[in-house]
Amino acid sequence: MATSKHWDIFCKIVDNFGDIGVCWRLAKQLQSEHQLTIRLFIDDLNVAKHLIPTLDTSLAQQTIQNITIVSWSTNTTFIHNAQVVIESFACELPPQYLAVMHPDTIWINLEYLSAEAWVDDFHAKNSKRGQLTRHFFFPGFTSKTGGLLREHDIVNTKQEHLLKSSTLPAHDHLNVSLFCYPHAPIASLLTAIANSNQQVSCYVPNSNILSSVAKFFERESLHPGDQLTYKNLTLHVIPFLSQDDYDKLLCSCDLNFVRGEDSWIRAIWAGKPFIWQPYLQTEQTHIKKLHAFLNLYYSDCPPTSKESIFALHDAWLSQEISSPTWQAYLIHLDKIKQYARQQSYTHSQQTDLATKLVIFSEKMIKNIEENKV
């Protein structure tokens, strides 16, 4: 039987970069901070390469940063399983892998992050699948959940390092990073920024929103290195960034527009104001998730600042950002900055996701061994 020091993580890249972003960070932390041997199965190496630049998409298996990365396809052969298996975001383990699993395998389905109240009750519940037991692990913002993905030193040591290593030019502009889904009201945001009384430098990583940005500037296309100015807006198109470089950008900006899960959490650890765009879901579920987060995260925020935060988030989701909404947020930006720093520190005092996963798996293994005696 494989030891509990060997873990397998399965990642199916459904859309964008959130799945692989979370799985790659988690794999690196489990290896570096908990000395675990990690195999990371990825079904789309071409997308993963955006976040893991040294990845060779032609190889079936390779080792990067002490992580064994395996190209996962319907032809993948599984000889043995790890003692602990993480099925990320209900990606469904392959039947060939399930066939080699044994009843003592610690099978964890790592769910998406949510601040909704029901997460506290559903975290760590399990269900049976034949002789196997599947545990449901919910990341979250309270002590009753699986915690947040966070390296141990990120708020104190790493944030100072990232700030010192900033590559943004020195000027008196407000620095804003923009990373969002294509359906966001990008044109109205850029219009509001351009018409505000604050000069803004907006940094846009190369992604699928560039066509919308190009349309705003009446250009056919945009490419990394392009710089465009309209009224009080100066927009910089930058390359798609590695995770480390993206973290530096978040720490260097005064305000970050983020999306999904990975960039959302990194914005929290950057300790800077941010506007979060949740992944679009049916039946307005994404709006419920947004409001659950805002109500929890900003519960102690001064009422006037909170009002401007909620208004800008709702406008970002409702397809229209007006100049007054943008300006009202800027008026409270200094207070929001203070609150963001405080919240970043507060949440960093909680046990992180990787550590909670290790504690949970060790507890499960201990229970299995005791039941055998």
Specify whether 299 is located in the same domain as 360.
Answer: no
**Is 334 considered catalytic here?**
no
Which pTM value belongs to this model? 0.94
When mean pLDDT is compared across 153-157, 322-326, 339-343, 360-364, the lowest value belongs to 153-157
Residue 1 lies in a domain: no
Contact 200, 232 (CB under 8 A): yes
Supply the CATH number for residue 256's domain.
3.40.50.2000
Q: Residue 133 belongs to what domain range?
A: 6-148+351-372
Residue 116 lies in a domain: yes
CA distance 270 to 272: 6
Among candidate residues 19, 247, 254, 352, the one labeled active-site is: 19
Q: Rounded to the nearest 5°, which phi and psi values hold at 219?
A: -115, 150
Among candidate residues 247, 261, 262, 352, the one labeled active-site is: 261
Specify whether 247 is located in the same domain as 271.
Answer: yes
Q: Model confidence over 84-133: pLDDT tens digits?
A: 999 999 899 999 999 999 999 999 999 999 999 999 999 999 999 999 99
Q: Model confidence over 134-150: pLDDT tens digits?
A: 999 999 999 999 999 99
pLDDT above 90: residue 303 = yes
Specify whether 217 is located in the same domain as 140.
Answer: no
Contact 7, 40 (CB under 8 A): no
Q: Would you state the torsion angle of the CA atoms of residues 45, 51, 53, 55, taken in this order, to the nearest 10 degrees?
A: -30
**Is 19 considered catalytic here?**
yes
Specify whether 256 is located in the same domain as 301.
Answer: yes
Residue 303 lies in a domain: yes
CA distance 370 to 89: 30
Specify whether 303 is located in the same domain as 174.
Answer: yes
CA distance 316 to 286: 13
pLDDT above 80: residue 170 = no
Contact 164, 367 (CB under 8 A): no
